[in-house]
Amino acid sequence: MSVIAGMKEIGITDIKGIKVGHASNYEAGTGCTAILCEEGACASVDVRGGGPASRETELLRPEKMVERIHCVMLSGGSAYGLDAGAGAMQYLEEKGIGFDVGVGVVPIVCGASLFDLELGDPKVRPDKAMGYAACQAAEAGKEPAMGVIGAGTGATVGKFRGADYMMKTGIGIYGVQVGDVQCAALVAVNALGDIIDYDSHQPLAGMLDPEKKRIAGTLAAMYEELGKDRNIWTDDGSGEKPAPAAPAGEVTNTTLGVIVTNARLTKAQCSKLAQIAHNGYAQAIVPVHTSADGDTIFVLATGETEASPDCLGALATEVMARAICRSATEATPCFGLKTAADLR
């Protein structure tokens, strides 16, 4: 933990106006997570990965008309999982929440999906009903659970050599308050690479060695293949051509994160904060932002207090990195996969 006078850890729902709910299907290995801001929040997004599946991200550009959004929906299911956002639309419309268009309201629901189809049942994906259920779960206003739940139900890491060597991760959450400024991160970590501990810089979860007793290290494996042009979706590097876990060219990763703050920011400042927060990805995931990842970060700013955007960027970077680490340490063994706890 950084040593900063007056810093204290908080939950993401300690930020006024923020509610979070999960919905999971453990048999199918998928789920979704709704981050609700029913009073509206200034928002933006930054996408760094090569293969994103996203919803309503274009309107988050600073020059676009809509200033405030009402929900970010994170889900599994690849592009199919974007249907979960429709559940949030229904939930919010029923409560009369949305952008007033005269004849009614249009809830502004943004979102992104990660690829988890290879883990459970690829024919079962988050849909409208599951998205609605996640919003209902948020009604209680309780601090959401971490680990294998919601959008992190099917999340895994360390897939450069294929599914045989990957480890289980899930949802991680970390938040702090410094003075009046609150900043929290929620992230579903489903990365090609390895998770590195923020404090010790040692691997927490990632690509296992053949004996599955330690983390072999994705970066070293990548350097060994520097002169090759292997299709990482259909070839595990053994020289064999195994049946692909996903169709050729289908993205099998993506880390989805949300930074929530009570700071008063413009859309342009939210956009810059999302860009800066990707440094948290880079500090905790190695390698990151590959062509096989759809790495995305949303920012929600509720506008309760003043804050220095640059100083907030440094804080957002740290809370995101620590949330990523928690996605590994809070995961529980399931689907036959090992977790960080198994390697301690």
Q: Is residue 2 part of a domain?
A: no
**Closest of 230, 288, 330 to residue 22, by C-alpha:** 330
* β 296-305/256-263 pair status: parallel
**In angstroms, rounded to a whole number, what is the distance separating the alpha carbons of residues 61 and 1?**
33
Question: What is the sign, positive or negative, of the torsion defined by CA atoms of 113, 151, 68, 304?
Answer: negative
Q: Is residue 315 part of a domain?
A: yes
Q: Is residue 321 part of a domain?
A: yes
- Report pLDDT digits (tens) over 216-248: 999 999 998 888 776 665 565 555 544 444 433
**In angstroms, rounded to a whole number, what is the distance separating the alpha carbons of residues 27 and 334?**
11
Q: What is the pLDDT along the chain (344 residues), one digit of tens a residue?
A: 454 557 899 999 999 999 999 999 999 999 999 999 999 999 999 998 777 889 999 999 999 988 899 999 999 999 999 999 999 999 999 999 999 999 999 999 999 999 999 888 999 999 999 999 999 999 988 999 999 999 999 999 999 988 899 999 999 999 999 999 999 999 999 999 999 999 999 999 999 999 999 999 999 999 988 887 766 655 655 555 444 444 333 346 889 999 999 999 999 999 999 999 999 999 999 999 988 888 999 999 999 999 999 999 999 999 999 999 999 999 999 999 999 999 97
Assign 3-state DSSP to the chain and report helix, strand, coil percentages, each to 5.
25, 30, 45
**In angstroms, rounded to a whole number, what is the distance separating the alpha carbons of residues 136 and 258?**
20
Domain, as residue range, for 232: 7-343
Q: Is residue 44 part of a domain?
A: yes
Q: Is residue 1 part of a domain?
A: no
CATH for 313: 3.60.70.12
Give the count of domains, the chain.
1
CB neighbours (10 Å) of residue 164? 14
Q: Is residue 194 part of a domain?
A: yes
Q: Is residue 29 part of a domain?
A: yes
Q: Where are the alpha helices (DSSP H) in 157-217?
A: none
Q: How far is CA 197 from CA 167, 203, 304, in A?
A: 15, 6, 32
Q: Which pLDDT score, from 0 to 100, does residue 103 have?
A: 93
Structure tokens at 248: 């050729």
Q: Is residue 241 part of a domain?
A: yes
